[in-house]
Structure 1
Amino acid sequence: MTVTLADVAARAQVSPATVSRVLNGNYPVAATTRERVLRAVDDLDYVLNGPASALAAATSDLVGILVNDIADPFFGIMAGAAQSQIGGQEGTGRAGGEKLAIVCNTGGSPERELTYLTLLQRQRAAAVILTGGAIEDPGHLAAVASKLAKLTDAGTRVVLCGRPPLGGDDDGSSITAALTFDNRGGGQRLTEHLLALGHRRIGYVAGPVERTTTRHRLEGHRDALAAAGLDADQERLTLHGPYDRASGYDATIELLRRAPDLTAIVAANDTVALGACAALRDRGLRIPADMSVAGFDDLPFAVDAVPALTTVRLPLYEAGARAGRLAMGRETPPPGGIASVPAELMVRGSTGAPRG
C-alpha cells in the first residue's frame, strides 16, 4: 500500500501543508514539529511519488558536513578542510559547478544526528560527510545504518572522516569511503613513551564512555600498560567526562586525591590536557618536574602551551580535505572503501622522567 503525504500528516498530527513545508524546507517550522514530521516520515518510510519522485532521484547542490561541536578545533579543522574541496567541479551541479556546504552541529546528540541525516536525505544532498567518533549504542547504529543506506541508494556520496564504519561492524557497503584514525595505536605509543621515561603510576582522563574514539584511545593506553604488567589498578585511575577543559581540571583533582603518588596524566585530547595542566598549577605542581602531562590530536595550541604539550598528531586538515575530495568524486575511494589514517607521536616539553 502506497504511503501518502496525508498518512504522514495523520501520523505526525499536523496538516498536510505542514508536512510539505518540512520536506521542502521553504517555510519556517518549529523544531519540535519538524522532528515529529521527520519521525513520521521515517516510521512510514514515506517517499515522494509522481513527478516529484523523479526530482527526488536527482541530487541537489547541497553537501552536509556533520560535526559534534563546531567550536571544537578538532571538528572545525576537518569541516573547514572538507569545505575547501567542495564546489567548482566543472559540469556538475546546477550553480555553475559549485556546491553549497552546510555544517550541521549535532552537539553530540544522537537524535540531532538522525534528524540532520533525514533532512539531508529529503533535500537530496549530493554528499554527506560525518566526522568524529560514533556513539556505541546498537539502536542508534542501526538507525544510522538505515539512513546511510537510503542516502547511498538515492545517489548521495557518504564519507566518514575519523569515524569507523557504523562503529566498526559495517562492511563499508552503505558508504562511499571511511577514513578511520588510528586512535588505538596512537594511544598505545603515547603510553609507551611515558613508560620508557620511567613512569609507573599513570592516571587517565578519558572522554565520554559511549564514544568509539574514547574506547579506542583507552584501549591503546591499557594495551601498553598490560604489556608492561601495570594494568592492575587502571579502573581506579581512569575517569570519564566530556572532551573539554573543565573535565580535565576536575578529573585531575580527583585523580590526585585517589592516587597522590601519580607521576603522569594522559588526557583524552589536548583540550582536556589543558584543564589537567591548570589543575596541577593550581596545586603548586610543576610540569613536567612534578607531573608529566600528555594529550591527543595535536591541535594548533598544543605547541604554544607552556610547556609545549606532548601529544599524538592526527592529520585533521589532510583527512578533512581528502574526505571532501571523496565526497565530490575527485578521488578514488581506497580499496574496500576503508583507509586507516596514521597517528604520530609528538614529544615535547610537558613530559619527562618522573621525580626522584
Structure 2
Amino acid sequence: MNGQTDPDGRRATEPAQEPGPAARGSGRRRGRRAEEGGRTGRSTIRDVAAQAGVSVATVSRVLAENYPVAPATRQRVLRAIRDLDYVANAHARALAGVGTETVAFVVEDVRGPSFAHAAHGVEQETARRGRLCLVCATGGDPRRELAVVKLMREQRAGAVILVGGIEDSPTYRARMAEFAQSLESAGSRLVLCGRPPLGEDVPATVVEYDNEGGAYGLSSHLLSAGHRRILFLGGLATHTTTAGRLAGHNRALADHGVEADPALVENGDFTRAYGYRRTRERIAAGVDFTAVFAGTDMVAAGALEAITEAGLRVPDDISLVGFDDIPLASDLTPKLTTVHVPYEELGRAAVRLALDRRERGGDRTEQHLVLGTHVVVRQSVRNVRRGG
C-alpha cells in the first residue's frame, strides 16, 4: 500500500490519477456539444462519469449517497450532472434497490373515492418513514396483480398492499398464500387491506374494518325510526364487502323482529350508475319500501337522483342511507346518513404494521387489525314511527 487514495476517498494499491487539463477540457467540450444539440437523446450516467473523470460506480455512489466519496470528487460529479442536465430517475433507482425503499399500493381502480383516501393514508405514512409510495392499478386483472407482486418481490419492496374486497374463493386464497410466501422469502411483506385474513399459517398482515358492525348500526337506525321495508342495494353477492354489510343488515332485522325479505335485496356493483338504474326500476315497478340502504355513498347518490327524478323526496317519501362517509355524503341534498369508514387510517395502519414488523426483525407482533366503524346521522332519514 502506498498511502494514496482513489477519487472516492478510499485507499488504493496504485496511485490514483486525477484527470489532467486535457481530459477536463475534453469533458467540458462534450458537455458543450450536448448543450449545442450535438448529442441526441438524454445524457447517461456514463456521460456524467466521463465528464467528471471518474468511474460509473463513483457517480452511482454520489447519487445514492450510500458510500463515502471525497468532497472534491463529489463536487466534480455534481458539476457534471448540472452541465449535462442529467436526470436520475428516483423511481427507477428505487425499483433497482438503490436508495429509498418502496411500498406498493395495489388497487383495482384508482378512481374509487374511498380507496383514494386509503392511498393518501399509505402515502402519508410512507413519506413520514422516508419511503417511496408506488400506486398500481390492476383493472381487476389477476395477471396484472401477479406482475406487480413479482416485480416488487424482485426489488425487495418493504411491503405490497393489496386493497379492496374480493370474492373469497379457494382459488383466491391459494393465489394470496403463494404471494405471501414468495414475498416473505424475499424479505418483503404482503398486506391485505380491507380483505379477510387467510389463516395463521400464511405470512401476511391484515388490516380490515368492521363492515358487519357498521351495517348493523345503520340498519338499526332505520329500524328504530320505524322502517320495516328496507331496500338493500349491494354489490356482487360473492363480494366480501357486500357479504359483510348484508350480514349486518340481516342481523339487525332479526334483532328487531323483522323477517328478511329476499325480494328487497338487489346485487350489482358499487357505482352511481347502478344505484340510479336499479332504484328507478324498483320505483317504476311500484314502491314497496320506505327506505333504501345503499351499499356505498356512490350508490346512494345514484339512488337519490332516481328518487328525485320520480317526483319523490328524501326523506319525506323515501329515507336513504349510504356507507363509507366520503366527502360526497355531506355534499348531497339532503346530507346523507351513512357509516364512517376510516380509510386514511386503514392505509396508514397497513404501512405501519408491515414496516414495524420488518424493522423489528420479523417479530410476531400483532399483524391482524380490525378498525371500527360508526354511523354518522345527518338529514336523509325520516322517523316514520312518529310521522315526521
**TM-score of the alignment, normalized to the shorter chain, above 0.5:** yes
Match of 1:178 in 2: 206
Query: Is residue 385 of structure 2 the alignment partner of residue 350 of structure 1?
Result: no
Match of 1:74 in 2: 114
- Structure-2 separation of matches of 1:278 and 1:70: 24
- Structure-1 separation of matches of 2:221 and 2:169: 33
Residues 83, 101 of structure 1: 8 Å contact kept: yes
Match of 1:84 in 2: 124
Structure 1 residue 163 displacement after superposition: 1.8
Structure 1 residue 117 displacement after superposition: 1.8
- Structure-2 separation of matches of 1:247 and 1:142: 31
TM-score, length of structure 2 as denominator length: 0.69
Match of 2:133 in 1: 101
- Structure-1 separation of matches of 2:99 and 2:196: 26
CA RMSD of aligned residues (A): 2.6
Match of 1:304 in 2: 331
Matched residue type, 2:145? E
Structure 1 residue 255 displacement after superposition: 2.8
Provide Cα deviations, 1:71-91, integer angstroms capped at 9, x if missing partner.
1111111111111111464xx
Match of 2:7 in 1: none
Residues 353, 367 of structure 2: 8 Å contact kept: no
- Structure-2 separation of matches of 1:353 and 1:174: 48
Residues 291, 354 of structure 1: 8 Å contact kept: no
Structure 1 residue 205 displacement after superposition: 0.4
- Structure-2 separation of matches of 1:185 and 1:88: 31
Residues 86, 328 of structure 1: 8 Å contact kept: no
- Structure-2 separation of matches of 1:117 and 1:59: 20
Query: Is residue 323 of structure 2 the alignment partner of residue 275 of structure 1?
Result: no
For residue 165 of structure 2, the aligned residue among 107, 110, 133 is 133
Q: How does 1:88-167 map to 2 (within 5 A)?
A: 89=129, 98-166=130-198
- Structure-1 separation of matches of 2:307 and 2:380: 12
Aligned residue pairs, count? 289
Mark the CA change 1:141 to 1:285 in structure 2 (over 3 Å): closer, same or farther. same
Match of 1:191 in 2: 219
Matched residue type, 1:228? H
- Structure-2 separation of matches of 1:100 and 1:58: 12
Mark the CA change 1:185 to 1:203 in structure 2 (over 3 Å): closer, same or farther. same
Query: Is residue 328 of structure 2 the alignment partner of residue 292 of structure 1?
Result: no
Mark the CA change 1:157 to 1:58 in structure 2 (over 3 Å): closer, same or farther. farther
- Structure-2 separation of matches of 1:109 and 1:351: 39
Structure 1 residue 226 displacement after superposition: 2.0
Provide Cα deviations, 1:26-55, integer angstroms capped at 9, x if missing partner.
xxxxxxxxxxxxxxxxxxxxxxxxxxxxxx
- Structure-2 separation of matches of 1:72 and 1:187: 20
Match of 1:215 in 2: 243
Match of 1:32 in 2: none
Matched residue type, 1:213? T
TM-score, length of structure 1 as denominator length: 0.75
Structure 1 residue 242 displacement after superposition: 1.4
Mark the CA change 1:129 to 1:105 in structure 2 (over 3 Å): closer, same or farther. same
Matched residue type, 2:216? Q
Q: Secondary structure at the match of 1:104?
A: strand
Match of 2:276 in 1: 249
Match of 1:26 in 2: none
- Structure-2 separation of matches of 1:342 and 1:124: 32
For residue 345 of structure 2, the aligned residue among 318, 332, 350 is 318
Q: Secondary structure at the match of 1:236?
A: helix
Q: Secondary structure at the match of 1:256?
A: helix
Q: Tell me, which stretches of 5 or more residues in structure 2 are unaligned?
A: 1-95
Provide Cα deviations, 1:162-205, integer angstroms capped at 9, x if missing partner.
22223xxx226411x32111000101110000000000100010
Matched residue type, 2:153? Q
- Structure-1 separation of matches of 2:257 and 2:100: 56
Query: Is residue 258 of structure 2 the alignment partner of residue 230 of structure 1?
Result: yes
Structure 1 residue 128 displacement after superposition: 0.9
Residues 172, 178 of structure 1: 8 Å contact kept: no
Matched residue type, 1:218? L
Residues 121, 347 of structure 2: 8 Å contact kept: yes
Matched residue type, 1:196? S
Residues 59, 126 of structure 1: 8 Å contact kept: no
Of 128-137 and 301-310, more deviation after overlay is shown by: 128-137
Structure 1 residue 257 displacement after superposition: 4.2
Query: Is residue 368 of structure 2 the alignment partner of residue 338 of structure 1?
Result: yes
- Structure-2 separation of matches of 1:216 and 1:124: 34
Query: Is residue 246 of structure 2 the alignment partner of residue 206 of structure 1?
Result: no
Mark the CA change 1:326 to 1:337 in structure 2 (over 3 Å): closer, same or farther. closer
Mark the CA change 1:109 to 1:322 in structure 2 (over 3 Å): closer, same or farther. same
Query: Could you tell me the percent identity over the aligned residues?
Result: 41
Residues 97, 155 of structure 2: 8 Å contact kept: no
Match of 2:33 in 1: none
- Structure-1 separation of matches of 2:217 and 2:128: 40
Structure 1 residue 289 displacement after superposition: 0.3
Structure 1 residue 132 displacement after superposition: 1.8
Matched residue type, 2:349? R
